[in-house]
Structure 1
Amino acid sequence: MPHDPYRTSEGADHAAGPAVIPRRPIVGALREKIDGVRKIAVLRGGGIGDLLFALPAITALASAYPEAEITLLGTPAARLLDGRVGAPHRIVRLPVAEGVYEPSGAAVDPEALRRFIAEQRGAGYDLAAQVHGGGRFSNPFVAGLGARCTIGTRTDDALALERSLPYVYYQHEVMRWLEVAALAGAAPVDLEPRVIVAPEDVELGRARLGEADGPIVVVHPGATDPRRRWPVERFGAVAAELSRSGAGVAVIGDASEQRLADDFVRAAVAAGAAAAPLNLAGKLSFDELPGVLASADLCLANDSGPRHLAQAVGTSTASVFWCGNLLNAGPMGRGEHRVQLSWTTNCPVCGRDSTQVGWTAPRCEHDDSFVADVSTEAVLADARALLAERAR
């Protein structure tokens, strides 16, 4: 019989065969752990979805190094994790830095950036993890923190950290960062992001959504990239059908999405909704969003931060994805999360191939939807199936 390194005969009943040693899942190659790690820095810029995709890697590091304090160097999106159970244990907001954190309209302040790096070097990190991107800007940033060991991904033109992996765009973001965590000997604990919501957050969310006799559907018709947006009229048509079936409907969005939310409400009313959707766009604080989503029975959305957050807090999702984004950011299970997929690969206006992304082929100037070919009937069927399952 071939030797199996995951089996042992010690203490086993040989008549029944060798015993099996329980093993944890691994993404990539699990490297040796680093001695004496007491402080870990994790760099993750970006929005809500970017932050959430890094959480399983942070959890893996916390499990592998239970005595270590983990500091997240993040953006305002990291406020979602303030005061919540588990790692990260500390959150430090990033300064404006090219390729790392570039809020709209803000300029790099070289002196503020220098002070930040100096302060973080003084923290005495043993391990610094880059879970941000290809590394052209983020790897020098992480290297500047002065940690004993650095890990992360890199494109061919990026600085190599002590332990690096090639950055290949088409990989699920959660898997990418779990593979980085494995460079430090950290095996996965979770394969999808989880955000623990306190009972008081749920109570506040229910108060915001109001009383409803039937299920509650929260709709987010926005997305940072307009090309990821399903036509708002179709969101309205689905919401109207669910409303006539007894569901309460609310729409969410940040201040920049208020006009889009207004359009959604008008579309739902025009399609015959039993009642006008509750419009919460621009009215929710960042801290209220997890509780609102956790209080809903279903989130109907594009590929967006609120959709990813809904999944992380345990709410079912029916969503519309572009095929490339599904590879990088889609839900892994289908029991509670359904996806309708667009296979459009060329710009609907100029025909440019959009499968080559990022630094390899800058996008064209057109913002027309890449997901407009997804049918209303398909999304409605997903929503109804998930609500029926939730009711059971």
Structure 2
Amino acid sequence: MVTPTTAAPALAVGPLAPRFEDVERIAVLRGGGLGDLLFALPAVEALAAAYPAARITLLGTPLHADLLAGRPGPVAGVEVLPLARGVRESPGREEDPAGTDRFLDRLAARQFDLAVQVHGGGRFSNPFLLRLGARHTVGTRTPDAAALERTIPYRYYQHEVLRALEVVGLAGAPPVMLEPRVTVTEAERAGARELRAPGAPALLVVHPGATDARRRWPPARFADVAAAAAAAGAQVVVVGAGEDVPAAEEIVDRARAALPPAARSRVTSRAGRLTLPGLTGLLAEADVLLGNDSGPRHLAQAVGAATVGVYWFGNVINAGPLGRARHRVHLGWMTTCPVCGRDVTSETAPRCEHEDSFVADIGVEPVRADVLDLLAAPSGGVGPW
């Protein structure tokens, strides 16, 4: 049980515990994908504000290191996690126990004052964190996880940003922001401006990918929206990783087929051809991002683009944008697997093996309407933030 301070700020998420004394070195454990890092950034900002003299080290992934390298922000450095079960896993690659030992021994020598776990329920991440030997530890915990000095219960259905903010509240760090922000470098912006079509009144970026196949809207639906945006005069650029190239090509082909010849060149694909800095700059240059619940959608929001997101309703609880003036959400309401009928809303039941989309029933018309509305007024009528 954490005893809150007597004067908790109104923005505190959960208990606000007393700050720890003499904190100079902080480690934050957050593996996973691009979105996972972004969800943790408001909590890192809170730590930086509460402990302004401390150096914050992120224990993250190569993707996190790529995004944060040379970028202004509260993270002083990124240590790339070793391959370890439940902490950092990679398909087709085995765990590296020896590498994990070396990693933890090296970081333990830094003598962290505070170690923060915002990586799942703690079954694997809490023992990993404890091996750092930090003076103080905070994080989430399921009933089967090792105890830290201060913890909150882990329940799956909680917004990841608010979960991380509740965790750092255990260290006496109230929120200073509620949504992630990523500073875009001038080099990233300059590279993106080279991709803008001269004279195009607006830029729509389309991202049809998602790590989980069940979150993917059909390419034909994206193509319908892309064609409508191009018909209205907007430039449309489809983006994605290498595995998204076939979907991107289908979107471009279908959209162009629906357009008159003079408008077809407005729809192009950069899927598989952008670096992470290149994607960051393009999203910052975009007026609107249309995409599934995925890292690029979250990054687009963090760099200032308006977004239209296609979500399974359960994922909105964990990862949806908080506002609606500049960020529109369209929901798939499927509660059972469309193949086997298994309940897909349970927090604890094992996942079935099927990959059929949970969002395929979302129609084109409401998505198209929101995209065109935001392209006409990407600030949502309230001015840019």
Question: What range is the shorter-chain TM-score in?
Answer: over 0.9
Q: For residue 337 of structure 2, what is the aligned residue in structure 1?
A: 347
CA contact (8 A) 2:225 2:364 kept: yes
Matched, 1:386 2:374: yes
Cα 1:209–1:280 shift into 2, 3 Å: farther
Q: How does 1:150-189 map to 2 (within 5 A)?
A: 150-189=137-176
Q: Give 1:199 deviation, angstroms.
A: 2.4
* Equivalent residue number for residue 275 of structure 1: 264
1:45 paired residue among 1, 13, 31 = 31
Q: Write the distance in 1 (CA, Å) between the matches of 2:294 and 2:277.
A: 17
Work out the CA distance in 1 between the residues paired with 2:351 and 2:199.
44
Once the 2 structures are TM-superposed, how far is the Cα of residue 212 of structure 1 from its aligned partner? 4.3
| Structure 1 residue corresponding to 2:243, chosen from 221, 231, 256 | 256
Displacement of 1:24 after TM fit?
5.1
Percent of aligned positions that are identical: 55
1:367 maps to 2:355: yes
Give 1:239-318 correspondences, 5 Å limit: 239-272=226-259, 274-276=263-265, 277-318=267-308
Measure the CA separation in 1 of the matches of 2:330 and 2:199.
28
Superposed displacement of residue 210, structure 1:
4.0
Alpha-carbon distance change, 94 to 377 in structure 1, aligned in 2, over 3 angstroms: same
Provide the rounded CA distance (Å) in 1 between the counterparts of 2:192 and 2:176.
Answer: 29
The Cα shift of 1:106 comes to 1.4
Amino acid at match of 2:322: M
Per-residue CA distance 1:87-122 (angstroms, 9 max, x = gap): 111111111111000012211122111100000001
Amino acid at match of 2:373: A
The alpha-carbon deviation at position 362 of structure 1 amounts to 1.4
Aligned to 1:131: 118
1:376 maps to 364
Q: Could you tell me which amino acid in structure 2 is paired with residue 113 of structure 1?
A: T
- What is residue 9 of structure 1 aligned with on the other side? none
Q: Distance in 2 between matches of 1:270 and 1:367?
A: 29
Task: Indicate whether 1:225 and 2:212 are aligned.
Answer: yes
Match of 1:205 in 2: 192
Give me the whole-angstrom Cα distance separating, in 2, the residues matched to 1:307 and 1:214. Answer: 22
Flag structure 2 segments of 5+ consecutive residues without an equivalent: 1-5
1:97 to 2:84 alignment: yes
How far apart, CA to CA, are the structure 2 residues paired with 1:366 and 1:331?
27
Quote the Cα distance in structure 2 between the aligned partners of 1:331 and 1:259. 28
Matched, 1:85 2:72: yes
The count of aligned residue pairs is: 371
Alpha-carbon contact 1:24-1:187 (below 8 Å) kept? no
Residue type of the partner of 1:100?
V
Work out whether residues 73 and 183 of structure 2, in 8 Å CA contact, stay in contact via their aligned partners in 1.
no
2:17 corresponds to? 31
The CA distance in 1 between the partners of 2:196 and 2:47, in whole Å, is: 36
Counterpart in 1 of 2:59? 73
Partner Cα separation in structure 1 for residue 256 and residue 339 of structure 2: 31
* Partner secondary structure for residue 346 of structure 1: coil
Q: Find the partner of 1:62 among 45, 48, 52.
A: 48
Q: CA deviation at 1:200?
A: 2.4
Partner of 2:3: none
- Residue 316 of structure 2 aligns to a residue whose secondary structure is helix
Deviations 1:288-312, CA, capped at 9 Å, x for gaps: 1111100111101010100000000
Where does structure 1 lack aligned partners over 5 or more consecutive residues?
Answer: 7-21
TM-score (norm 2): 0.94
Query: Which amino acid is 2:194 matched to?
Result: A
- The TM-score with structure 1 as length reference comes to 0.92
User: Structure 1, residues 338-372: CA drift from partner, whole Å, max 9, x if none?
Assistant: 01111111111111110014xx1111111111011
